[in-house]
Amino acid sequence: MNARAPLLELHDLRVTIGESQILQGVSFTVREGGITGLLGRNGVGKTTTLRGILGLVPRTGSVTLAQAELTALATYEIVRRGVGYVPEDRDVFAGLSVEENLRLAERPGAAHRYDLVYELFPELRERAAQRAGTLSGGQQQMVSLARALLNADNRILLIDEPTKGLAPLIVKRVADALRRAAEVATILLVEQNLAVAHRLVKDVIVLDQGRVVFSGDVEELIGDPVLARRYLGLAAAREVH
Amino acid sequence: MSTIVLLAVTGLGLGALYFLVAAGLSLIWGLMRVLNFAHGAFFTVASYAAWSASQALASASPWLQWFVALLVGMVTGGLFATLSEAVLIRPLYQRHIGQVLVTVGLALATVALVEGGFGSDPRPVSMPAWMSATSPLFGAAIANTRIVAIVAAALVLLLLLFFLRRTRYGLIVRAGVENRAMVSALGIDVQRAFTLVFAIGGTAAGLAGVLAATYYGTIDPARGTSMLISAFIVVVIGGLGSITGSALAAVIVGLLQQFLNFYAATGVGDFAVVILLAVVLLVRPAGLLGASS
Ligand SMILES: Nc1ncnc2c1ncn2[C@@H]1O[C@H](COP(=O)(O)OP(=O)(O)OP(=O)(O)O)[C@@H](O)[C@H]1O
Ligand SMILES: [Mg+2]
């Protein structure tokens, strides 16, 4: 295995919201290239970790992208360093058309990969004038993914449960899109569908109660029913075995 | 017939002034969730700045005087708003109670300062002879100041719609009204859009300040406050964050006030507006054209 260069590094990331310490010192490294999985049961802090990287929640600790410290920057400045975000709730702008959603995501100065976006999701071209709020869940997910894929200078994409609540056929298309996306950027993927995660991911990081409890190869985790059950829950473990 | 036309145009003229104040208020609330109680102060300061400018130009031609006053009023409104945002509101980002207190404070302080400097009595404004004259329309003699206010408000509505629908900053503002955090997660400095919206809202309020001076023939330190109250009602009825909603509601409120105050009794129109506000809040809490949810 050739060692890939570290791209995104978290060191002792802590997030406290109100009285509760949601992240209690999360440290991990995402290496350049491919898809790294960020797994764990419901409510362990996966979404909060992504939001912490982006500065969408107040946090302490350090986050670096290609050795450059991000923690002092505003969210928009972090994103401009080449971070794409696909949030858990998709967060498309319901009142804007599909085309406007994409245009808003265009970062000035970057090349825009409309060819890739429309190759993966041709319906976004057909529905360019449609209000995003009237799209199906799957189509909204496509808009959300497209916004992150669009900017050619994105170095890492933070993608939060992209297959959640989608029909099997759409899940497959999203998975295919993620594989294609991984050819042009590094991906940090939160995915509760273990079958999908298993197919896409090689390196995994597992969170439990706001801490990293496992970091290594996906086979090592999923191949071990005891580990899988302990960290991912019973139902998840059954899904793959 | 001529009475109806007169009442309609007068109501529309009033609605035009409400709209100019309400437009900025609505955008500011929609994007930043700031209830900007200082918006009436932008109006007031602009009208006094415009008045001072026209006094200073007393020997110039009346039209030049008026246009300079208009320009001074708009620039003053825009600058005052931008400054207020940067100095008072930005540091209180997301602390809503603090923002309410600070804008209420600014509004009170501004009125007090203006009264201190210019006295609390209304002062007459000078304007070109054409302005204080009337034009015939369907048999009614319509005061030209009404026509000026209506035309100006219609132009501002068109400009705002163009800004919102056709420019990148307009796109940012519309998206920011929905989900500010996600806009910044797309690499956009939402703060700059905030400042721009304050500048635009302040400029429109400044324009309203000058046009209201022409409309009423006087400037008055208290008028900004009553305008602000009417504008808040218009914004809520029209739907927070919706410019076309504000325009529609401003027309309804202006007409309702004029017609009922005339045909029922003075005061009934204003009362009816409050009833309308209550009904809208009960039946359509998001306002006539507001996004429900
Ligand atoms: N804004 C908030 N205020 C209070 N508690 C929060 C907030 N956001 C998250 N939490 C809590 O923090 C914990 C971690 O939440 P987070 O959404 O990061 O988990 P997750 O791993 O993404 O969960 P899921 O699999 O359900 O998406 C949860 O217990 C959640 O209830
Ligand atoms: Mg989550």
For B191-253, the DSSP string reads HHHHHHHHHHHHHHHHHHHHHHHHHHSEE-TTHHHHHHHHHHHHHHHH-TT-HHHHHHHHHHH
Q: What percent of chain A has pLDDT over 90?
A: 86
Question: Would you give the distance in Å from CA A179 to the centre of its chain?
Answer: 13
Judged against a pLDDT cut of 90, whether residue A38 lies above it is answered with yes
For residues B128 and B62, the answer to whether their CB atoms sit within 8 Å is yes
Judged against a pLDDT cut of 90, whether residue A141 lies above it is answered with yes
**Nearest CA among A12, A182, A188 for reference residue A85:** A188
Q: pTM for the full model?
A: 0.89
Whole-number Å distance, alpha carbon A163 to ligand 2 midpoint, is 12
Residues with CB under 6 A from ligand 1: A 17-18, 20, 22, 40, 42-48, 88
Give the per-residue pLDDT at B182.
Answer: 97
Judged against a pLDDT cut of 60, whether residue A106 lies above it is answered with yes
Judged against a pLDDT cut of 80, whether residue A241 lies above it is answered with no
Mutate to test the pocket of ligand 1, among A14, A46, A213 (most ligand atoms within 8 A of CB): A46
Whole-number Å distance, alpha carbon A189 to ligand 2 midpoint, is 11
Separation in Å, CA of A94 to nearest CA in chain B: 8
Other C-beta atoms closer than 10 Å to the C-beta of B90 total 15
pLDDT in tens, A144-180: 999 999 999 999 999 999 999 999 999 999 999 999 9
Separation in Å, CA of B177 to nearest CA in chain A: 10
Residue B190: CA count within 13 A, CB half-sphere: 23
- Kindly determine whether residue B185 and residue A54, on different chains, have CB atoms separated by under 8 Å: yes
pLDDT in tens, A211-235: 999 999 999 998 888 888 888 875 6
Q: Which residue of B has its CA nearest to A150?
A: B186
Write the residue with the smallest CA distance to atom 23 of ligand 1: A43
Whole-number Å distance, alpha carbon A168 to ligand 1 midpoint, is 26
| A104 vs B171, B177, B181: nearest CB | B171
Q: What pLDDT band is residue A1 in, cutting at 50, 70 and 90?
A: very low
Give the per-residue pLDDT at B292.
Answer: 53
Low-confidence ranges of chain B (pLDDT < 70): 291-293
The DSSP letter of residue B89 is: I
Whether the CA torsion B178, B181, B184, B186 is positive or negative: it is: negative
Instruction: Give the whole-angstrom CA distance, residue B81 versus residue B103.
Output: 11
Is any Cβ of chain A less than 8 angstroms from the Cβ of B190?
Answer: yes
Q: Bridge partners of A24?
A: A14
The strand pair at A6-17 and A20-31 is best described as: antiparallel
Ligand nearest to the CA of A40: 1
Write the residue with the smallest CA distance to atom 4 of ligand 1: A17
| B185 vs A56, A94, A100: nearest CB | A56
Instruction: Give the whole-angstrom CA distance, residue B24 versus residue B198.
Output: 7
Q: Which residue of A has its CA nearest to B192?
A: A76
Assigned fold of B2-283: ABC transporter involved in vitamin B12 uptake, BtuC (1.10.3470)
The strand pair at A203-208 and A35-39 is best described as: parallel
Instruction: Give the whole-angstrom CA distance, residue A162 versus residue A151.
Output: 18
Mutate to test the pocket of ligand 1, among A47, A88, A90, A159 (most ligand atoms within 8 A of CB): A47
Q: What pLDDT band is residue A2 in, cutting at 50, 70 and 90?
A: low
- Crossing angle of helices B2-32 and B243-263, in 10° steps, is 140
Which tokens sit at A224? 């071990």
Interface probe for B, chosen from A91, A92, A134 (most Cβ of B below 10 Å), is A91
For residues A192 and A206, the answer to whether their CB atoms sit within 8 Å is no
All residues of chain B having their beta carbon less than 8 Å from the beta carbon of residue A79 are 184-187
Write the residue with the smallest CA distance to atom 24 of ligand 1: A42
Q: What are phi and psi of B142, to 5 degrees?
A: -100, 125
Ligand nearest to the CA of A39: 1
Other C-beta atoms closer than 10 Å to the C-beta of B272 total 17
For residues A204 and A172, the answer to whether their CB atoms sit within 8 Å is no
In angstroms, what CA-CA distances link B143 with B122, B137, B219?
Answer: 20, 10, 18
Write the residue with the smallest CA distance to atom 29 of ligand 1: A43
Judged against a pLDDT cut of 60, whether residue A72 lies above it is answered with yes
For residues A10 and A53, the answer to whether their CB atoms sit within 8 Å is yes
**Continuous segment of H or E residues that includes residue A25:** strand A20-31
Instruction: Give the whole-angstrom CA distance, residue B124 versus residue B118.
Output: 12
Interface probe for A, chosen from B182, B183, B189, B191 (most Cβ of A below 10 Å), is B182
- Kindly determine whether residue B187 and residue A147, on different chains, have CB atoms separated by under 8 Å: no
